[in-house]
Chains A and B, each alone.
Chain A
Amino acid sequence: MGEAVQIKLAHLGIASIQVAAESVRDIVEIMLETDPNLGISAITGLDLGENIGVMYHFRLNQKLATLISEVPKSNPRIQSITDVIPGANFHERELFDLFGVTIDGHPSPGRLVLPEDWPVDLFPLRKDAKIDNLPAQGESSTEKIASAPEIEGTLVNLVVGPQHPALLEPEKFSLKVDGEIVRAVEPRIGYVHRGVEKAAETRTYLQDVYLVERICGICNSCHATCFVEAVEKILGTQVPPRGKYLRTIILELNRLHSHLLLLGHAGLEIGYETLFQYMWRDREPIMDMTELITGNRVIASSIAVGGVRRDLKETDISKIKLEMEKLRKRMDFYQNLYDKEPSLKMRTQNVGVLSKEDAFKLCVVGPVARASGVSMDVRKDDPYEAYGEIPFKLITRNEGDTYARLLVRLDEITESINIIDYALEHLPTGPFRIRAPRVVPAGEALNRVEAPRGELLHYIRSNGTAYPERVKVRTPTFANLPSFLKTAIGGTIADVPANFVSLDPCFSCTDR
């Protein structure tokens, strides 16, 4: 094996290891011995002409490390690693869908992001994929609609989605229920798959910033930042300090907006409309502040390669500080409410408990992982922008239930307010942006940021033109979804919405 392994330090994470396809599993097992909590972040496929590149991005001791391998395009097969790292399940299925790499020994192979009636020999992310003669979709769909109950023994098939009041975006979950108890969950995602990764290859880097921003309306700045930082890594551009601080402020506003939205929405899911209305009212000033800084309420479009698009006026700083102070007072109210309100606790405590071991096994990220006692936050593990200079607390809880997942976000809101306050007070002077070239030299970069929902990962490969060769996006919900499939089992139907919403699911992100 010796000569087959090539190690490059500080490449795609702390290091990249190139191995033959047959020994991927062995290497993973060796890595597992080094770090038993080894998690997988993503699996990226690459069209290399004759071969298909398969890259496994791991979280080794909370740092990224990449395992690179190649399989021939004529017979693309690779051994599954889902049995050693259960969190790899969805990533491997996605690799099959988009690149046609057959995963040997996968426990539940099948379509994940593409429709069931998609041609079997068409793999959209391969460079030679022709989609001109794609058969029309519609009548040929094999999916069943949710009209009649399908009964298997005593189990009733209760279909949640693609359209359902508890889901704000279309995705399907078939619950096998026994009375009110859920016995099994079968997910079917991909209803809002828009092929963003493919579309990004046909646009320039400049256009791509706007494209990736539109992957998700809520954490839009996070996507833009993650993409832009990866491009800057390839370019070797240094963002001026003021630009970094302004980005941090925009990112934290994004987090505030997302967390407030989620906490309110959680109220709606457990039938607490008053909480929903209150939270969303308090979210309004955050939107106004985003508008004040970036010019836009929702899709900020403020992050650009080399910095940010607009400077912050001195007069606006006091306005933002005032709003933050108001929000801090409101947070005391909500803290009190979450601490004391009995009906809210009854609905969320001990619901959907995810143990620390399972959190590691299923490779969950962000607040979901932190609520299960995993101290993991890209802002601390891999500081980007100004996070390395700003002191803030990493919030973790040990219960691992829905209540903990909501409370982690509640506490993070306070931390975000602190971060914004600190950043405003220590805002460096100087330029907020430097001009960056539009043509990016050949290279590749892997970058991650802490989106409100957890670790967001972008991989960019450049071929020296103004168009990227490959853009890979792994969103936090994609990583968190497996935990819901596990924790829903054994609970009641009534627990499903509360449990599910505590992941802060975003299908627009998941499907891309």
Chain B
Amino acid sequence: MHRQVGLKMAVDLYFFFRVLVFPGFTFILFFTFFCDWVERKIEARMQNRVGPAVAGPAGILQPLADFMKLLTKEEIVPKNAKRFVFKFAPVFSFSILVFAVSLLPIDGSSAIPGVSFQGDLIFIMGLVTVANFLLFLSGWASSNPYGSIGAARVLTQFLGYDIPLFLLALAPAFLAGTLSIATIAASQYLPYIILAPWAFVLFVITLQAELEKDPFDIPHAESEVVGGLETEYCGGKLAFLHLTRDVQIVFGAALVVELFLGGPYGPVFFGPPALWYTIWFVLKLLAVVLLSEYLTCLFARLRIDQIVTANWKFLVPLSVLALALTAALAVWIYPMPV
């Protein structure tokens, strides 16, 4: 009897540890800060700047410091804003994205144990769309011309780019013969970046648009729409908006890792595999961040009409082609054990 309770408590403790500490909430949060720092540092070095340098060694604590600073600022809600949506949309959006990341295998399995199921790829993609839509709502609720235009741009952009992103996410699913992310990651004895490089390239480009980074950072074009949907935000709500954006980037990069770079799996040398899987996951993810930042530094921002055209004229047809090619290869050339 006692042993059973003890066992149950241990299981519960393990569950809570995984969800709340590692690889769950705390890990994801601090990893997000770390990625933000890496991103800023890379971008700065590429642009011949120093980047964050004051808070912590080489400025590593700067994102955390920024977050804490914003939390201490006064909270102001504009008179005309739709209060409830304005206040809670950023927090909801943030939680949904963190939840989506917790569903991805990080140290060999996902943060929430045993949650992987057939079709969670579609579920996760759906979650991200909801998170994006909440971001749109937050801008729309602020009743500011810049906020509304920024929000409309977010909507235009993610509605368009969700389609090729979704199509391209299916390419690895075809290769693995499953819609479960964990299985897709686990079945890559050869990473899909090698088996389907065309899908990878298109996926990274689409993701750049989905994450609103240059050359697609139109909703954040400060020279045109000031802060975009963030214009009226301040204090803790702004802190959460920024954090949401950073988690979004981590999520996007993690998705690339899971779908094209073999997930967290890699050679295990000694000790527990979970440790090595985490290391591989982090390294692969940083490589994706590096690639994404490189693209950001390389281009000017396009115009909204140009990116809508680019999406419907080029990316969507190319994605369909890439998917068809991958599916054909999956059937005839690379026969995979499911």
Contact = CB atoms under 8 A, between A and B. Distances in A.
B223 A277 contact: no
A267 B300 contact: yes
A270 B306 CA distance: 13
Interface residues of B, number: 33
Nearest to A282: B48
A8 interface: no
A221 B173 CA distance: 66
Which of A157, A158, A269, A270 is the most central at the interface, judged by chain B CB atoms within 10 Å of its CB?
A270
Given A271-B215, A275-B300, A281-B48, A492 B305 contact: yes
Interface stretch (A85-93, A311-319, A340-348): A340-348
Contact of A274 (B143, B145, B297): B297
A110 to B, nearest CB: 24
Contacts of A495: 303
Contact of A273 (B297, B302, B304): B297
B310 to A, nearest CB: 10
Interface stretch (A52-60, A146-154, A252-260, A446-454): A146-154
A208 to B, nearest CB: 36
Contacts of A270: 223, 300-301
A157 B149 CA distance: 12
A274 B217 contact: no
B148 A149 contact: yes
A271 B48 contact: no
Nearest to B220: A271
A497 B304 CA distance: 14
Contacts of B143: 148-149
Nearest to B297: A274
Given A156-B145, A494-B303, A271 B221 contact: yes
A196 interface: no
A346 B224 contact: no
Contacts of A211: none
Given A281-B48, A343-B302, A347-B302, A271 B145 contact: no
Nearest to A500: B223
A446 B130 CA distance: 66
A180 B301 contact: no
B222 interface: yes
A164 B226 contact: yes
A268 interface: yes
Interface in A333-382: 341, 343-344, 346-347
Interface string B141-179: 001111011000000000000000000000000000000
A493 interface: yes
Contact of B301 (A147, A164, A166, A271): A271
- Classify the interface of chain A: helix, strand, loop or mixed: mixed
B307 to A, nearest CB: 10
A157 to B, nearest CB: 8
B4 interface: no
A347 B145 contact: no
A165 interface: yes
B303 A343 contact: no
A274 B224 contact: no
B97 interface: no
A267 B215 CA distance: 13
Interface string B250-289: 0000000000000000000000000000000000000000
Interface in B297-333: 297-306
Contact of B300 (A146, A166, A341): A341
Interface in A116-151: 146-149
Contacts of A278: 47-48
Contacts of B298: 274
Given A346-B303, A346-B306, A493 B225 contact: yes
Contacts of B221: 271, 494
A269 B300 CA distance: 9
A496 interface: yes
A494 B224 contact: yes
Contacts of A156: 145
Nearest to A165: B222
Interface in A233-281: 267-275, 277-278, 281
A275 B47 CA distance: 8
A15 to B, nearest CB: 45
Which of B48, B224, B297 is the most central at the interface, judged by chain A CB atoms within 10 Å of its CB?
B224
B302 A147 contact: no
Given A158-B149, A343-B300, A271 B225 contact: no
B303 A277 contact: no
Contacts of A273: 43, 47, 214, 297
A165 B225 CA distance: 9
Contacts of A281: 48
A493 B149 contact: yes
B224 A272 contact: no
A272 B298 CA distance: 8
Given A165-B222, A271-B215, A343 B299 contact: yes
B226 A165 contact: yes
B46 interface: yes
Which of B145, B222, B226 is the most central at the interface, judged by chain A CB atoms within 10 Å of its CB?
B145
A274 B223 contact: no
Nearest to A276: B47
Given A166-B223, A271-B214, A343-B215, A492 B300 contact: no
B300 A180 contact: no
A347 B303 contact: yes
Interface in B35-61: 43, 46-49
B328 to A, nearest CB: 32
Contact of A165 (B78, B217, B223): B223
Contacts of B225: 493
Contacts of B124: none
Contacts of A271: 214-215, 217, 221, 223, 300-301
Given A180-B305, A277-B47, A281-B48, A344 B223 contact: no
Contacts of B48: 277-278, 281
B218 interface: yes
Nearest to A272: B300
12 contacts: A149-B144, A165-B223, A180-B305, A271-B223, A272-B299, A272-B300, A272-B301, A274-B298, A277-B47, A281-B48, A347-B300, A494-B303
Interface of A: 146-149, 156-159, 164-166, 180, 267-275, 277-278, 281, 341, 343-344, 346-347, 492-497
Interface of B: 43, 46-49, 78, 80, 143-146, 148-149, 214-215, 217-218, 221-226, 297-306
Given A267-B300, A269-B223, 7 more contacts: A147-B78, A165-B226, A180-B305, A272-B300, A273-B47, A492-B305, A493-B225
Q: A-B pairs with the 3 shortest C-beta distances? A: A271-B301, A272-B300, A166-B223
